[in-house]
A and B are shown apart, each in its own frame.
Chain A
Amino acid sequence: MKKGYLLILLTLVISLVSACGQPPAQDPAPAASSETGEPAAASGPVKFATDASYAPMEFMDLDQVKGFDIDFIAAVIKEAGLEHEVTNVGWDTMLESVRQGTEYQAGISSVSITDERKDSYEFSLPYFESTNIIMVKQGSPVKSALDLKDKKVAVQNGTTADILMTGIMGDNSAGLSKFESNALALMELDSGGADAVVADIAVVREYIKNNPDKNLVSIADSQNFDSEYYGIIYPKGSDLKAKLDPAIQKVIDNGTYAEIYKTWFGEEPDLTNLKAAMAKG
């Protein structure tokens, strides 16, 4: 009897949650499309979800989503002749809603392509090469990832840094703290609660650049941290991959990509590894 009660409760909760999943009222159409007077693309703009807490890849500037990913996807969409909008919904919501594929048809949020994630999502061509990197305070004895074993390390939960450090430090290591955002993990290092932060190179560099007075240094460790590649995620069976992959290829080949890269990272991208990864699909 107790079990039956629980089941009813569960069903209630689930039906309530799915009822709340109705798409919200649409934003007014962007001015550009109404000026041209052309009918919008048959299916309307492609709706992208993102977790804008990953500067400089994607972040909020007041109420606008900005960053490398945002400029990149704008170029790809333009190349493909479509329209799009990007909404900041947070990491969890992005993953779940893109999986369902009703409210958002795609997610772009520095999502590393991994085999595990391929089970749940369709990935675009890889569009960005990244690696994890260690950040410590100046004078720290840490030289490589293996030195972190008995140290206090802060990472963002669910990131590849988390996966790597869990692998090195163990499943239930007391020294590894998994925060809800990189910002919180970085703050933990700042205030002395952690000896090191492991995160994507772009995030760490941006932080060191913005906080020159904090005497932080980054340590690369290609031995323990492999290169990884970001991809756009689509729901399984989405037709968007076929539409956007050629556009991604073009944007990278025709130099638009390098321009966007330079505005955000201040240097020319080294595309050798990325192009090899793209060739593999």
Chain B
Amino acid sequence: MQEFRFDIILYYLPMLLRGTLLTIGISILSIILGSLLGLIVGFGRMSARAYFRLPAACYINFFRGTPLLVQILIVHFGVVPALVGHTDVMIAAVLSMTLNSAAYTAEIFRAGIQSVEKGQTEASLSLGMTHRQTMRYIILPQAIKRMVPAFGNEFIVLIKDSSLLTVIAAKELMYYANVMRGQYMRIWEPYLTAAIIYLILTYSLSKLLNWWERRISQFEQS
């Protein structure tokens, strides 16, 4: 390994940080939209009616069972041109990450809700609560607390997986690392720098989530 060139890292740092901002932006947007879509799919998956349940199950199976890289390419070169008439990197980036994360969050919702014992539903129904009230006041408050760690995980996975968007030239962190490699034909500087930035992102996020989890459990005890 030749000497490590900090000067080119410094030179590219503004670009890498700009890419990092986009990585964060795409990840946040996708986790929010993905959760909303995931909520719908998750409830569909738990529905007693087959015409809700089956499409939801197919959706989850497809997006969890195919590589994200393939999904990104299909969305960018297939779905987005079909929808808006031409390729659009930003739409494709957010759409592919959203569709993918919705499949995982749907399962998180389902697992969270089904983890609350049946006896509680039966008890609240026998107390005269409606299904909706049971969900709102009994099940969801407990379920959401159990979902938080899984959600945090999904968010972290999303940040890391957004690096795949570089194949469609979305100008996120990995894109600029690749551009840097292309200019200097050096491997260590761009990729180690990118790795460290990703590490900082995911590590501080997991710290934040730990803190939030602790807060929630304190809140419950009081």
Contact = CB atoms under 8 A, between A and B. Distances in A.
Contacts of B196: 6
A191 B81 contact: yes
Given A10-B192, A191-B87, A192-B85, A162 B182 contact: yes
A103 B100 CA distance: 38
B77 interface: yes
B169 A158 contact: no
Nearest to B196: A6
Interface in A186-201: 187-188, 191-194
A180 B167 contact: yes
B175 interface: yes
Contacts of A163: 183
Report, as a range, how many residues of chain A touch the other chain: 20 to 34
Contacts of A215: none
B154 interface: no
A159 B15 CA distance: 19
Interface in A168-187: 171-172, 177-180, 184, 187
A92 interface: yes
A144 interface: no
A154 B167 CA distance: 12
Contacts of A159: 182
A177 B89 contact: yes
Contacts of A191: 77, 81, 86-87
Nearest to A236: B2
Nearest to B92: A193
A53 interface: no
A193 B86 CA distance: 6
B74 interface: no
Given A162-B182, A188-B169, 4 more contacts: A95-B187, A157-B182, A191-B77, A194-B87
24 contacts: A92-B181, A95-B187, A116-B184, A116-B185, A157-B178, A157-B181, A172-B18, A177-B169, A177-B171, A178-B169, A178-B175, A178-B178, A178-B179, A180-B166, A180-B178, A184-B168, A187-B77, A188-B87, A191-B77, A192-B85, A192-B86, A193-B87, A193-B88, A193-B89
